[in-house]
Amino acid sequence: MTNAVEADNLVKRFGTLTALNEVSFVVHEGEIYGIIGPNGAGKTTALRIIGTLIRPTSGTVRVFDIDVTKDSSKVRGLLSYLPEEAGAYRNLSGFEYLRFMASFHTKNSKELDRMVEEGAAISGLGNRLEDRVKGYSKGMNRRLLLARALMVRPRLAILDEPTGGLDVVHALHIRQTIRDHVEKLGTTILLSSHNMLEVEYLCSRVALINQGRVVAQGPPNELKDRYRAQNLEEVFVEAMKNV
């Protein structure tokens, strides 16, 4: 099995703060891998390093065997990144935004149209895509951004808190979209969440992270068995006792 992501002994310091402390994990191609933990645990920092936005203080990350620090531009061609607090350009319409983003991934006009059509379908926003983004609700905005991330059919999609702050209807739509996309196209998804029930529903394997350290990792069922827990929240509490 090919590895989509290999993080090895990642350390990231911001001044005196250690955000990541010797974090290692592997994401296999075609799986949904979840990084879970409370706010400030280091999830976003790990995803930003893999997404080529920031550099590790030490340690390495390889995406499909390409080093993210040494060859970041090549890595950017393979992935799509959805930041936690992302926005779209307020003065563009939903369609204009999708077309703008798609045009960085292909020069072929047919492929461009295909991406925009697929993006429109994934978003499920219908005619509202004609409207300017500044009139969108938070849920609509998130659906547009997820559509942007998936329509280009990346080999690796990094989704930071994809349903964070959304109501049940929008959160359900997004979870279903992620699952459908992976089943249909075999895209690798690396997501973060502090909603452990959501991760249990979506992910084939997870890493529990706290204060910059991985405290446990594996498939959700295996972790539940290991810690004799009913769900991942209980696993997290038990794993923390052993740190």
Partner 1 sequence: MSSSLRVLLLKELKELLRDPKILVGMVLMPIIILPIMGGAITLSQEAVKKELASTSIAVVDRDASIASSSLVGFLRYTNQTVLSIPLGDEKQVISRLLETNATLLLEIPQSYGSNVSKGDIGILNVYAVVKSLGLAESTRGSLIEQVMSAYSYTLSIQKIQELLERSNLTRINPQNVYAPLSVNYHSVVKGKVAEAAPQAIVGLLMSQGIMLPITMIMMLTFSMQIAATSIAVEKEEKTLETLMTLPIGRLTIMIGKLAGSILVAVAGAFAYMVGFGYYMNSAMGFADRGSTSISLSSLGFSLDLGAYLLLGVTIFVTLVSGLALALSVAVFTDSVRSAQSIVGVIYVPVMVPMLILMFADLAMLPLPVQIALYALPYTHSLLASRAIFMGDYITALTSIGYITIFTVIVLYVAARIFTSERVITAKIGPPRLSFLRRYHSPS
165 counts as binding partner 1 under rule CB under 8 A: no
Q: How does 118-134 read in b/e, with b if 16+ C-beta sit within 10 Å? A: bbbebbbbeebbeeebe
96 counts as binding partner 1 under rule CB under 8 A: yes
85 counts as binding partner 1 under rule CB under 8 A: yes
DSSP letter string, the chain: --EEEEEEEEEEEETTEEEEEEEEEEEETT-EEEEE-STTSSHHHHHHHHTTSS--SEEEEEETTEETTTSHHHHHTTEEEE-TT----TTSBHHHHHHHHHTTT---HHHHHHHHHHHHHHHT-GGGGGSBGGG--HHHHHHHHHHHHHHT--SEEEEESTTTT--HHHHHHHHHHHHHHHHHH--EEEEEES-HHHHHHH-SEEEEEETTEEEEEE-HHHHHHHTT-SSHHHHHHHHHHT-
Tell the smallest beta-carbon distance from residue 40 to partner 1 (Å). Answer: 15
Write the interaction track for partner 1 spanning residues 42-81; mark x where CB under 8 A is met and - where it is not: ------x--xxxxx-----------------x--xx-xxx
**Nearest Cα residue to 150 out of 113, 124, 189:** 189
For partner 1, the closer CB: 11 or 92 = 92
For partner 1, the closer CB: 17 or 168 = 17
Number of residues that bind partner 1 (CB under 8 A): 33
Tell the smallest beta-carbon distance from residue 104 to partner 1 (Å). Answer: 5
| 216 touches 208 (CB < 8 A) | yes
Candidate list 16, 39, 65, 107; residue touching partner 1; CB under 8 A: 107
Write the interaction track for partner 1 spanning residues 125-164; mark x where CB under 8 A is met and - where it is not: -------x------------x--x----------------
Candidate list 2, 58, 70, 104; residue touching partner 1; CB under 8 A: 104
For partner 1, the closer CB: 77 or 186 = 77
40 counts as binding partner 1 under rule CB under 8 A: no
For partner 1, the closer CB: 105 or 222 = 105
Tell the smallest beta-carbon distance from residue 168 to partner 1 (Å). Answer: 23
Binding residues (CB under 8 A) for partner 1: these are 14, 48, 51-55, 73, 76-77, 79-83, 85-92, 96, 100-101, 103-105, 107, 132, 145, 148
